[in-house]
Structures are given as structure tokens and as C-alpha cells.
A and B are shown apart, each in its own frame.
Chain A
């Protein structure tokens, strides 16, 4: 277990390298990198909730949507600075998670999963009904073109990358700290043996809600980052597929360890691209071309569950 000072240094180092690399990377790599960072954060929030506190959520897309809308409203209506907008996204989603957690605290296992699934299906389309949420068309999430002092060479995608990479890095660092603190031990106790945890004085209900709230906040932030890349938030930006997509990433890289999150984000972004290029090289019928990428991602999920149920990150951990 590394000390928190070491962790801080490592994260600062990673951040510094990312900023350096971003100067030379092409718009494509920057755009992909932004997605990787965003998904890595979403995966981290799932790992916190499911891997560490044992609560299964099939509806993280809804939490991401709450954050995205909150942030968009903050920037669009309240005219806040985009960075503040992201903070708002995190806080509002966290608050929503807190309230939601209070409601579902008694649920566990398949019942919690089902409730969150229902949320993922029902929540985003609700925005259709409200004009101030932009209805079908949605709201823009405009982070501007990047500070002028960076000069003309600083492209839009470099700006996106800076925001996504740094926001994710900070939040993941904070979660990592949390997990290695007493809260992490409490969450693991909740997951492994709620009865024993209760007996040793842990308020299981309250801690479950806390985990839910923090995870939601992180998910909300990743939702805000995602809609930056999409150009805006709308109900169609968060279909049910998003929830399953990030959950797949979390399972593939291991639910019990934060170390795999960046790999998870990378896989989620790279798999469809790799599949596309495999398909275009191999050729084949139109039917194959369109279904192969999804098939490959699903196959990878199955293989991961069968061969590395704790994720390849776990294998890395053992070699330390």
C-alpha cells in the first residue's frame, strides 16, 4: 500500500506528462484520450460502488446524465465558468446519489440492480418533458476554446483533453485516497460481511449511502466530461447502452482494483476502433462489418469474466 504522499507525487507526475504529451498529439489522439479519461473516471466510480462497497448499479448512465444536465444548466443558464460547471455537475450528482442512496439503502443485490436499471431507462427521457432542460434538443455544454494565453496553437481538442484528463486525474486520486483510508476499510467490510460490520459498530446503512453519494458525484463529473465531447447534453446522449458500456469496462479491468481504470477506459475506446480496422482489413459482408465490433467487445467481456474474474489489474497487483 503506497503512502498518500507517494500517491500524490505519482498523480502529479502523470498529470504533468499528460500535459506535455498533449502538445504533440494529433487531434485524433487527443479526442480519444479525452474519452479514455472520461471512461476511466466512470469506471472508477463503479469500482468504488460495486467493487469496494458491494452495491451493484446497472444505472450509472442516469447518474452521469444528472451531472451532465446540472453542469450544462450551470454554464448555460447561470452563466457560470465551465470549470465551476463541472464542480456543480459533481456536487449535484453527488447530492442526487445521496438522496437516491437514502431511498435504496435497504435494497441489495438484484433489487438494487433492478432499481438502478429502471432509473437508467426512465431518467434521461424525463428531460424531454421540460423546456428548461432543452427537451429533445438538449442543452449545449460549452467549455469555450481554451485560454487565450496559451496562444493560437492550442487547439480545441487539446483543451478538451486538458479538462478531461485533469478532472479525471484529480477525482481518481481523491477516490484512491479514500479507498486507502479508513473509509476504504469500512466499504470493504460492507461488501464482504455486512453483519460482522454492523456488529463491530459500523452503521451499514449510512456508509452504503455515503459510498453511493461519492460514486454518484464521480459519475456526474464523468457525465459532464462526456457531454463536452459530444457537444452538448440531450436525452439521446445517455441511452441504456452507456450504463452497460462502462460496467463492461469495469468488469474487464477488474472491479476490485483502481489500478486498471485507465486500461479500462483504453479498452472501451480502442476495442471498437480495433474491431473496425480488423473488419475493414478482413472485408466480409455488410452484416459482419456492422456486428463484429460489438461482438468483439462482448466476447472480451465474457473472456474477462471467465479467465480473470478479478481483472488483469489483479494480476499486476500480485507481481508488486
Chain B
């Protein structure tokens, strides 16, 4: 018993000493006189890392460029990245660490639906009032100000995309049979809600579990529909690997020209398709929806500027749609920080986006929907057609922008939207 009493005495003393440690002083977390610390939780390893791994580096390159040109109101931006490996646990700890260990001012560009749902809650971002900017997910649930009070979406929702697709099919392929290949979870459900809202009924639907679309499954689907007369439209509303599986199966069965392919933006990056060995002849003519210019379109001033930044700050690394998306998010972030003024607070940042965000300059070819009541970012799409070189050009030759909401609102052709001119040299000067 003697050893036990010694041990307990030591421990009790230790506990009393610890109880006298002083509390921490309060200040704006993540902001000093010289620096603003931002955090991003995203995958840079594993299969998701292969696709999205360039995003943090791209954002950092843009921030480096801005830092070299005076920063934001005299402060330099530091981006902390934590690899969440695209798992729920990873995102929970990564986001938590960004908020409580790295003490970031705001989280930007969080990636993935299930991952960010977990990360947001695990880090108590609502309670801690940590701004959650430009989330990389199209799940409309993030627009819920009660559950996600500090979140600002960026991507149009999957429901919006589905509604635009429904209009394209109705306008251009009347009378043809239509088929939907989508996941059997909230990603696919969001799309189904959109098609439903647009009153589109598919001839047949082929749901599959996340990660469960392989070439064998794709062949089964194609075998089932290959005898349908005419030229049916097949909507591929899945991730890149699922789109690849369907197209490659079509190649194997010589059915690539039997169908009109309409690939959702999530899985239709032409570079990825080609890199994963889908033949150029197969992707030639595939329709897709996008809200950004094509990364290969050097006539677009934003693309041209971002390519220049990429060349200077990410030597040797390729420029693709993901790098474009990353730099675009970074540019929006800089404008948000500027609009919040030199006296930077978290509330001030969020208010700035609500009041001025819809006017921010960005590469997006559709409007931004931020307001006091809406946390939706881009709210529309233009329809592109991919050619054998992997370039996406406006379908029908002329760029038509469709805007809509995630609910029952109509899909309208937006003829009045003029994309804000890019700030000179890509350096925002907004207030």
C-alpha cells in the first residue's frame, strides 16, 4: 500500500499544479499584424489524391503570387494543408487540427460531402464560428444556415446540374430514350431530385453503390439497353472512375456511337478520361456541363493569367481543370479577405461575402449567388461538348448560360450575366 500512497500523492500534487495554469488571452484567431492563416483539409494521397491532389498546391501558388504583390491589406496569406485521405476519420481529425492546433482564421476549399460533414461537426465549426469558405462539394445540404451557419458553398449543386441536363435533353433530343447511371446515395439522390424537379422521367435508371461501377457492371448495363431504337441519351452522373468504366465498356462492346453521352461535371474532366486510357474517338462528342472555362482555353484571360502564375510558382507541374478551380477559389478568398477590411474578424469576413460576394471577380462563367439569405455560390451551368483533343467547347457553337435553383424553379437562359473583368494581372483591388 505504501507505493500506492506515494504514487497517489505525486499525482495529486501534479494535478494541483496543473490547476494553476493561466487561461489563454483572447484575440482574432489566425490573424496577426503580418499574417492571415487559412486551412484546407483535402486528400493528397490515395485514389482521391490522384484526382484532387493538385488543389492545395494550386491555391498556395496563387496566394504566393498575391503575397509577392503586397498581400492583403499588408498581411501575407499562409495556407496550411492537412491530408485527410478522403476518409471521414481523416477529415474529422484534419479539420479539428486546423481549427484547434493550427488555429486557422478560416477553413477554405474543404473537399467532399461525407468528409466535410464530419469535419465540420468534429471541429465544432458552428460553435467556434469558424468561416467555412468555398466548400468543394455540390451537396445542397451545405446551404442550410441552421446546420452550417458559417459555410459558403462554391460549386453549383448536383440538383442544379441535373435540371440543366434535363433541359438540354428536352431541347435537343426529343423523342429519344434516356437512361440515368448514378450512385444510390445522396450524390445520386441530389441528381434525381433535380431531374424530378424538371419533370424528366428516365426510360430506365441504373443505380450503383459508391465505388461500385466497374467495367463488368457497365457492360451489363449497356447490354441491357443496346437494342433500344434510335440514339438514346445516357446520362453518366458519377465520379471519374465510373464515367471511365462506362465509356471503356462501350468501347469493348463497340457501342460508343450508339448513344449520346451526357457526363456530369464531377466525372467528366477530359484530361482525366484520357489519362485513364479512354480513347480520344470515344470522348469526341461527349456532352458535359460546366460552369468554368476550359483549362485549355488560353483565349480566356483568367485561364491565361492562372497559367502564367502556375508556370512561375509551380514549375514543371501541369495546369488542368483542378488547378484552375483551386486558383479560382484562392482568388475568391483574397477578394473576401480584402472586402472584410483591415480590421479582420471572422464575422466581418462572412458579412463581406454575404454583402459583396456576388460581385467578386472569378473565372466562373455563371453568376455567384451569395446574399444575406443564400450561401450558394455558382448557380448555373453552360453545356460543353468535348472533342478528341480533350477540349470542351460550347455545345451548339454559342455559349449559353443556364441558371436555376436546387428546387422547383425553372431553368432559365441567362442573357444578362456579364462575367466581371479580371482584375489587372489577376491581383484583386476590391475593397
Contact = CB atoms under 8 A, between A and B. Distances in A.
Interface of A: 6, 9-10, 13, 17, 20-21, 23-24, 26-28, 31, 35, 125, 128, 135-138, 156-157, 226, 229-232, 234, 236-237, 239, 241-242, 272-273, 276, 286, 289-291, 294
A156 B183 CA distance: 35
B4 A28 contact: no
Interface stretch (B81-89, B356-364, B365-373, B401-409): B81-89
B318 to A, nearest CB: 14
Contact of A136 (B18, B21, B44, B114): B114
Given A10-B4, A290-B45, 9 more contacts: A17-B15, A20-B18, A28-B100, A128-B184, A136-B114, A231-B120, A236-B115, A286-B44, A289-B83
Contacts of B53: 286, 290
Given A21-B15, A229-B122, A237-B88, A290 B4 contact: no
B19 A229 contact: no
Shortest 7 CB-CB distances between A and B: which pairs?
A: A231-B121, A136-B185, A290-B45, A20-B15, A28-B100, A236-B88, A237-B88
A128 B186 contact: no
Given A128-B185, A286-B44, A290-B44, A27 B11 contact: no
A128 B207 CA distance: 12
Nearest to B54: A286
Contact of A286 (B57, B82, B127): B57
21 contacts: A9-B4, A10-B4, A13-B8, A28-B97, A128-B184, A135-B186, A136-B114, A136-B183, A229-B92, A229-B122, A230-B122, A231-B92, A231-B118, A231-B122, A232-B121, A234-B88, A236-B87, A236-B88, A236-B114, A237-B89, A286-B44
B117 interface: yes
Interface of B: 4, 8, 11, 15, 18-19, 21, 44-45, 49, 53, 57, 82-83, 87-89, 92-93, 96-97, 100-101, 114-115, 117-118, 120-122, 124, 127, 183-187, 209-210
Given A13-B11, A231-B118, A24 B21 contact: yes
Contacts of B118: 230-232, 234, 237
B189 to A, nearest CB: 8
A137 B100 contact: no
B186 A242 contact: no
B44 A27 contact: no
A294 B45 CA distance: 11
A20 B186 CA distance: 43
Given A13-B8, A24-B19, A31-B96, A136 B186 contact: yes
A229 B96 CA distance: 10
A132 B423 CA distance: 51
A241 B101 CA distance: 25
Contacts, number: 93
Contacts of A13: 8, 11
A267 to B, nearest CB: 15
A114 to B, nearest CB: 22
Contact of B88 (A20, A27, A230, A286): A230
Contact of B92 (A21, A137, A230, A286): A230
Given A231-B121, A237-B88, A286-B57, A137 B4 contact: no
B87 A20 contact: no
Contacts of A232: 117-118, 121
- A interface: dominant SS: helix
B186 A137 contact: yes
A31 B115 CA distance: 18
Of A23, A226, A229, A286, the most chain B CB neighbours within 10 A belong to A286
Nearest to A277: B101
Contacts of A273: 97
B96 A137 contact: no
A234 B96 contact: no
B114 A234 contact: yes
A231 to B, nearest CB: 3
B122 to A, nearest CB: 5
Of B49, B82, B93, B186, the most chain A CB neighbours within 10 A belong to B93
A125 B208 CA distance: 12
Contacts of A230: 88-89, 92, 118, 121-122
Contacts of A21: 15, 18
Contacts of A272: 93
B100 A17 contact: no
A192 B83 CA distance: 43
Contacts of B82: 276
Contacts of A10: 4
A3 to B, nearest CB: 11
Contacts of B187: 136
A136 B15 contact: no
Given A26-B100, A232-B118, A291 B92 contact: no
A70 B4 CA distance: 40
Contacts of A157: 124
Contacts of B21: 24
A290 B49 contact: yes
Contact of A242 (B89, B121, B127, B185): B89
A273 B89 CA distance: 14
A240 B224 CA distance: 33
Nearest to A26: B100
Nearest to A24: B18
A285 B114 CA distance: 29
B209 A241 contact: no
A231 B15 contact: no
A294 B90 CA distance: 12
Given A24-B18, A24-B19, A241-B87, A128 B114 contact: no
A26 B103 CA distance: 12
B181 to A, nearest CB: 17
A239 B84 CA distance: 14
A144 to B, nearest CB: 13
B110 to A, nearest CB: 14
